[in-house]
Structure 1
């Protein structure tokens, strides 16, 4: 009987330890690390570092990394296309999740009707689907893009 009581108590305390460990891990998941802080950026934020687009893109094109490493999965960028310019036909290894911030952007995905984006419009572009993008406004078009895979743009010759 003493042995049964001892086993019951050991099971109880083991269960209690497992519960305590789970409880502590549950709350630890919500804690941000020193490297991972919440932040926000506006298009005209002085913290943004605008860099050049790939060479096949039109003059005035620029990219600013908002979050992540563009060479790794899950990076977010602002893509700026000068007014009245067109990004030649290209594709991306990654799917793109986009929201137009400013301007009017026309995207022509192969095999689909063209899409017209105005500020606040969301668009999804599947991975490897060729497309062109034309900024039809006088002012630059700024597009927020969330990439699932590393950021790239592969140019295609116009058929």
Structure 2
């Protein structure tokens, strides 16, 4: 068993998100290799910012660690996630997200396929 890591852990290496996402967006790998299946990451974005419509090859299993976030999947009603909420995002389904709080939104995401993100048209 490996030790758990927190968002402020000095062991975490925060990296920029893809170019189409807000500049404040960062990702840190918690476990696994993001180029291979079954990686877990922290995704964070500054309060009061939004991520444009995008999609992933993988399903996403998510828990909001801090903040308040609205997630909007194509063809579904938008959902507001509160701290501690679990959400499932189906693979290849376009979606957007907004950090509604003034504080940073921190999201734990488990991917079952390699981590990727593509701007949706």
TM-score of the pair, normalised by structure 2: 0.98
- Runs of 4+ displaced beyond 6 Å: none
> Per chain length, whose mean CA-contact separation is higher, i.e. which structure has more relative contact order (CA < 8 Å, sep 6+)?
2
Structure 1 runs not aligned, ≥5 long: 1-36
Q: CA deviation at 1:104?
A: 0.4
Structure 2 runs not aligned, ≥5 long: none
Write 1 or 2 for the structure with the bigger share of strand: 2
1:77 to 33, 41, 50: 41
> Which entry has the higher C-alpha Rg, 1 or 2?
1
Write 1 or 2 for the structure with the bigger share of helix: 1
Structural RMSD (CA): 0.7
CA distance in 1, matches of 2:47, 2:2: 32
Confirm or deny that 1:120 pairs with 2:73.
no
2:29 to 54, 65, 90: 65
TM-score of the pair, normalised by structure 1: 0.75
